[in-house]
Structure 1
């Protein structure tokens, strides 16, 4: 069987019409619009938490990073998602309340800056938070016994 350009074009047009729902006259048939369906009844609470070495979040080198999802149930790569989500709920997602202004332990004055960050969403609100410490000892002392940045 010999194919001509006309036959190939006609076959291709028939496939396009069938896939798109258009008619032979070239007018598309109206398809009923489907309303967007929510994927969850809960506002998203999904975060990426990092611990980095450097002066600022923009220039620091990430050493450790985890994901934390708190709705509908705690999950993610965080080693203790339930404890971390409970802690975040207790401060209503205000990351500044997770740290103290002075370390709860004695640390050397060695300058080895550490930056911790949280980015993503907490109960539907965008989160982009970071804070820095003079060294890892200061970070651990300033976080007290919190679970959010213990990874």
Structure 2
């Protein structure tokens, strides 16, 4: 290879190595979100408080811009939270549920963000049947 060809190849490779990364394809700008974030971590544990026991199950639930996460019924859980205005205490209850009086406490927690507002929720139910009857699909996982 003649010296001029080697020199041209060396200059081309050096220029590519030095300035190539600077002239890469521009990344598209991210569009601003029209939705306030809604992302939660939900847990269920047997015990009288979240502090006294480790969670047995935990899922993620993201409701904006669309329902997603590891929650098995994310769409239903998000729609029920929407109807309750994000108030976990206002979730619809099953009026016809019949549960035993067995005391086997179940504690649920929710932590994260709902419509841009920080959320921390904890509630203890007398047993799993009462939890299912009084917490809708949000804590069914």
TM-score by length of 1: 0.67
* 8 Å contact kept, 2:86–2:114: yes
Deviation at 1:39, TM superposition (A): 5.7
Deviation, 1:41, is 3.0
CA RMSD of aligned residues (A): 2.1
Indicate the residue corresponding to 1:11 in structure 2. none
Asked if 1:47 corresponds to 2:40, the answer is yes
Name which of 87, 96, 103 aligns with 1:111.
103
2: CA distance, partners of 1:112 / 1:99: 22
Whether the 8 Å CA contact 1:116–1:131 is kept in 2: the answer is yes
Query: Secondary structure at the residue paired with 2:58?
Result: strand
SS of structure 1 residue aligned to 2:65:
coil
Partner of 1:148: 138
Task: Report the CA distance shift for 1:122/1:38 in structure 2 as closer, same or farther (over 3 A).
Answer: farther
- Are 1:104 and 1:142, in contact at CA under 8 Å, matched by a contact in 2? no
Question: Unmatched 5+ residue regions in structure 2?
Answer: 1-29
> 107, 111, 121: which is aligned to 1:129?
121
Question: Matched residues in 2 for 1:141 and 1:86: separation?
Answer: 17
